[in-house]
Amino acid sequence: MRPAAGQHRMALALAGGGPLGAIYEIGTLMALSEALEGLDFNEIDAYVGVSAGSFIAAGLANGLSPAYLYRMFVDSESAELPFEPEMLLRPAFGEYAGRAASVPGLLFESFREYLRRPLRQGFLASFQRLSQAIPTGIFNNAGMDVFLQRLFSLPGLTNDFRQLKSRLFLIATDLDSGASVAFGSEGHDHVPIATAIRASAALPGLYPPVEIDGRWFVDGALKKTLHASVALKEGIRLVICINPLVPFDAGHASHEKHLKRRRLVDGGLPVVLAQTFRAIVHSRMKTGLEKYDIQYKDADVILFEPSRDDADMFFTNMFSYADRKRLTEQAYRKTREELLRRYDELAPKLARHGVSINRAVLTDPHRSLARRMAELKRRRARNMGLTALRLSDTLDELARALRRLQHRQKHQAA
């Protein structure tokens, strides 16, 4: 049985940002999981995921550790089920074909409309309906659904919101109404988690809308960036938020890092659009956070995000995996630095919820994410051969399955 809303204490809210955003979130989670004592990201009360953040949130809610997600997304050679970015870039041939097949009918209707009222309606206006033949998405994300179903079919994992021990909310936008829908909430928890992730990450223009129960859904970031209020309404009193996308401050970057100042206009339309999009979603997020301070005075909402002079996080293609280890390491290091810099601000807030910051971990000059992952790998492989290491992974999966079975038995008994 899930705990009542009043018993909820802590939640995690993850925003979108494509594969690059997921990589940043994993690096940040690795740093936070090491430094924050009393906070286990696999044992909190609620998770909220938007777009790419929905994938990470669903993994954590299913018991996958940040280290496991690192191996899956970043160090794919060591992952049992590696995430291949190519699955996100497959052309939506079905969408193309369906739209192309509609062209003859649309042409006929356009000609008929024009010939019927040639004086009242111009030639171009009559043929405006041909825009319906334009595909709604370039790529097909059905490959993601196949991958997610394979992932959630592993022992101890589930594709059913109702079988999770914690609340999981994956946000998408209803295309016909513009309303935000939290899959995993009452009335929307029958939808498979994998399908909800696809809907939450269906960025308009890149991916076609996803049909669920006769409705069409697109990316959950269209209305809000984080949707942390979904957790706050459930009685959560501490929400850790991670937002990977911030607008770039070229002037600050050139001053602080002594680099030649970049003019974003020189990057052409993609850079201009990226800066515009980031500025809009970030401004909207800041406004939302300010409202939380007023509406939920007894709750603490703590945000982690890249600095605005971080050129790597801005200029790296969000679908690129070429520099994923370096960028994850950078997110890990920057988060550690931020925890130290904000220690006096964050320590009292976290303490109210039984969480403390381990300064010794943060001030250790030898710590790095690469070393941490190598240490974890050595620990798992110590005195073991490859076969034994795989057996250890299998035992971990069986342990998760046992915990899931115990949870289901309790749920049925209740």
pLDDT of residue 389: 52
Residue 184, Ramachandran bin (φ over 0: left; ψ between -120 and 50: alpha; else beta): left
Specify the residue for token string 């070429």. Answer: 322
pLDDT of residue 311: 86
Q: Please provide the distance, in angstroms rounded to a whole number, between the alpha carbons at the two ends of the chain.
A: 6
50 CA to centre of own chain: 5
Give the type of residue at 99: R
CB atoms within 10 A of CB 143: 15
Query: Beta strand 356-357 with 36-37: parallel, antiparallel or unpaired?
Result: antiparallel
d(CA 5, CA 9): 9
Question: What is the DSSP annotation of 75-120?
Answer: -GGG-SSPPPGGGGSEE-HHHHHHHHHTHHHHHHHHHHHHHHSTTT
pLDDT of residue 112: 80
Contact indicator for 147, 83 with CB cutoff of 8 Å: yes
Helix or strand (DSSP H, E) at 399: helix 386-413
Contact indicator for 318, 20 with CB cutoff of 8 Å: yes
pLDDT tens, N- to C-terminus, the chain (414 residues): 344 444 448 999 999 998 889 999 999 999 999 999 999 999 999 999 999 999 999 999 999 999 999 999 888 766 778 888 778 888 888 888 998 898 888 888 877 877 777 666 666 766 777 788 888 999 998 888 889 999 999 999 999 999 999 999 999 999 999 999 999 999 999 999 999 999 999 999 999 999 999 999 999 999 899 999 999 999 999 999 999 999 999 887 776 665 677 789 998 998 999 999 999 999 999 999 999 999 999 999 999 999 999 888 888 765 555 688 889 999 999 999 999 999 999 999 999 999 999 999 999 999 999 888 887 776 655 554 555 555 655 655 565 566 556 656 665 666
pLDDT of residue 411: 59
Q: Which residues contact 310 (CB under 8 A, 6 or more apart)?
A: 246, 248, 253, 330, 334
Percentage helix, strand, coil, to 5, in the chain? 55, 10, 35
Collapsing DSSP states into helix, strand and coil, what is residue 245?
coil
- Cα–Cα distances (Å) from 245 to 277, 281, 291, in that order, read 9, 8, 20
> For the whole model, what pTM was predicted?
0.85
CB atoms within 10 A of CB 294: 7
332 CA to centre of own chain: 17
Contact indicator for 184, 169 with CB cutoff of 8 Å: yes
Q: Dihedral, CA atoms, 196, 282, 40, 186, nearest 10 degrees?
A: -40
Taken in order 236, 240, 244, 249, the sign of the CA dihedral is positive
Contact indicator for 168, 46 with CB cutoff of 8 Å: yes
Contact indicator for 388, 341 with CB cutoff of 8 Å: no
d(CA 72, CA 373): 13
Contact indicator for 66, 35 with CB cutoff of 8 Å: no
pLDDT of residue 380: 59
pLDDT of residue 322: 62
| Nearest C-alpha neighbor of 48 from the set 162, 152, 168, 181 | 168
- Half-sphere exposure at residue 47, Cβ-oriented, CA atoms within 13 angstroms: 27
d(CA 350, CA 266): 43
